[in-house]
Amino acid sequence: MLAFPSTYTVGITSLGYQVVWATLAQRADVDVRRLFTDQGDPPHRICDLFGLSLSWELDGPVLLDLLEQQRIPIWASERGDSDPIVFGGGPVLTANPEPLAPFFDVVLLGDGELLLPAFVDALQQHRGAPRAERLRQLAQVPGVYVPSLYAPRYSSEGQLLAVEPIEPGIPATVAKQTWRGNTLSHSAVITPEAAWPSIHMVEVVRSCPELCRFCLASYLTLPFRTPSLDDGLIPAVEKGLAATQRLGLLGASVTQHPQFGDLLAWLDQDRFEGTRVSVSSVRAATVTPELGRILAKRGSKSLTIAIESGSERMRQVVNKKLATEEIYAAARYAKEGGLTGLKLYGMVGLPTEEDTDVVATAELLLALKKATPGLRLSLGVSSFVPKAHTPFQWQGVRPEADKRLKLLAKRLKPKGIELRPESYGWSVIQALLSRSDRRLAPVIAAARGRHESLGGWKQAYRAAVETSRSGPEAPPPWDDVIHITWNQDRVLPWVHLEGPLPTATLAKHRSEALGESR
């Protein structure tokens, strides 16, 4: 059973979920069924495997609802030989699985192209063995993390000291696996019921070469990979366009594919008349009149760029290699090409940010509106949330972010610029989940049924604290996990899980960003 913690409409639009499902469905020795919160395929009489794809921290409690629905014990320690192996993957679990670790038998760290087949092969090889033996054997597969075979060790004050194997023969660390093949992923399912109806999605790039210091999508998925045009992208696009006329080109920075201009020129052919092409966020400096023209010709109405801040100083802090003039040029070229809208993404609460930097963002949007009359502008803005395996993993969420969201609203809304802010309160909960260790698991369990409200999460946290009373096993302190900037010598919850870059390199990037010397 392969589950997704949302409705079918949302889940089937996840390219990662589709790829995992297709990989398993193509195996003759696996009968995979899908499960969503609102529907699913007919269940098995006996289920050996239960998998979950997780791409958003706040979806964690939904896993427990899905497990209970299938009559599977939610705690891994309570499962016996007759219960399925519960496994999970996706960016959230690859970055820091520890808050959810007590609910999983297995976590797959990294890209699924090689990892999934190796995982299933190992399972089949030891299928008749007792559960404990199966888990020991799975722990030997690169990228397969078995949480029950590792134990955190705390000081008397509750500080994490280490996360170590509980018996000999278990690897001391588990490394994220990286797919380096010439092809990336594309849709296995095209349906009018998807959130993006009848779209064929093609992954144009994986990772991003820019390395913005806060960015999980860049750091966690390194190195930057691009399939070839003739052997990878064009065949994938052709396959989908045989079934639909809607194409989505996906990636953290699709226009930085070295042959993206050639791909655009190919899509400009008359035979694609009637085909609607959309692209995910593009790097502002790569926007050209030709890009705007071809996207407008192929049915796109707007372009999306991430600027992070209107302050050049802040863009330097986060390593956003983008000049203000390049933002103006992107807006100008979008309008000249025939696009009617420009969506910008920014962030507040970044390390070292001041109110003046946020004012600079508002002033930039107002100046853009004046410079490109008729171009509809919108700004999506979130609060900074620290993510594991990035240089800003040691930073805390800044309470000032809340009032800075309000400052942007005050400056922009009266001037007719659409502002789409993400809730500061939900950013706090996201940080709680992204930087915690296993001691948060009881909070997640207690949040079931009320996880869709901020008050529900806070009540669940208080209830877990009250139940545990005190001691090293109590939930990690709220402010320490969310708001405090940690020392770089602190033992991190994901210390035993290797990302693409070593901690020393991340610390160096952080020092460069903040102007520190080490």
Pairwise CA distance, residues 233 & 462, whole Å: 50
CB distance 344 to 302 below 8 Å: no
Measure the CA angle with vertex 143, ends 139 and 147; round to 5°. 50
Compute the residue count for the chain.
Answer: 518
Measured in degrees and rounded to the nearest 5, phi and psi for residue 68 equal -65, -35
The distance from CA 382 to its chain's CA centroid, rounded to whole angstroms, is 15
Pairwise CA distance, residues 160 & 362, whole Å: 41
Token pair, residue 243, equals 């079934």
| pLDDT confidence of residue 518 | 42
| pLDDT confidence of residue 462 | 93
Per-residue three-class SS string for 268-319: CCHHHCCCEEEECCECHHHCCHHHHHHHHHCCCCEEEEEEECCCHHHHHHCC
| pLDDT confidence of residue 182 | 78
Measure the CA angle with vertex 399, ends 422 and 210; round to 5°. 60
Q: What is the DSSP letter of 352?
A: T
CA proximity to 375, closest of 292, 434, 308? 292
Pairwise CA distance, residues 444 & 244, whole Å: 41
Pairwise CA distance, residues 411 & 17, whole Å: 40
pLDDT tens-place values along the chain, 518 residues long: 999 999 999 999 999 999 999 999 999 999 999 999 999 999 988 999 999 988 889 999 999 999 999 999 999 999 999 999 999 999 999 999 999 999 999 999 999 998 999 999 999 999 999 999 999 999 999 999 999 999 999 998 889 999 999 999 999 999 999 998 878 999 999 999 999 999 999 999 999 999 999 999 999 999 999 999 999 999 999 999 999 999 999 999 999 999 999 999 999 999 999 999 999 989 999 999 999 999 999 999 999 999 999 999 999 999 999 999 999 999 999 999 999 999 999 999 999 999 999 999 999 999 999 999 999 999 999 999 999 999 999 999 999 999 999 999 999 999 999 999 999 999 999 999 999 999 999 999 999 988 889 999 999 999 999 887 666 678 999 999 999 999 999 999 999 999 999 999 999 999 999 997 44
| pLDDT confidence of residue 478 | 96
> Given the structure tokens 């992107």, which residue do they identify?
330
pTM above 0.85, yes or no: yes
| pLDDT confidence of residue 428 | 97
Tens digit of each residue's pLDDT (9 = 90 or more) over 406-430: 999 999 999 999 999 999 999 999 9
Pairwise CA distance, residues 455 & 46, whole Å: 38
φ/ψ bin of 402: left (φ > 0), alpha (ψ from -120 to 50), beta (otherwise): alpha
| pLDDT confidence of residue 517 | 45
Tens digit of each residue's pLDDT (9 = 90 or more) over 80-96: 999 999 999 999 999 99
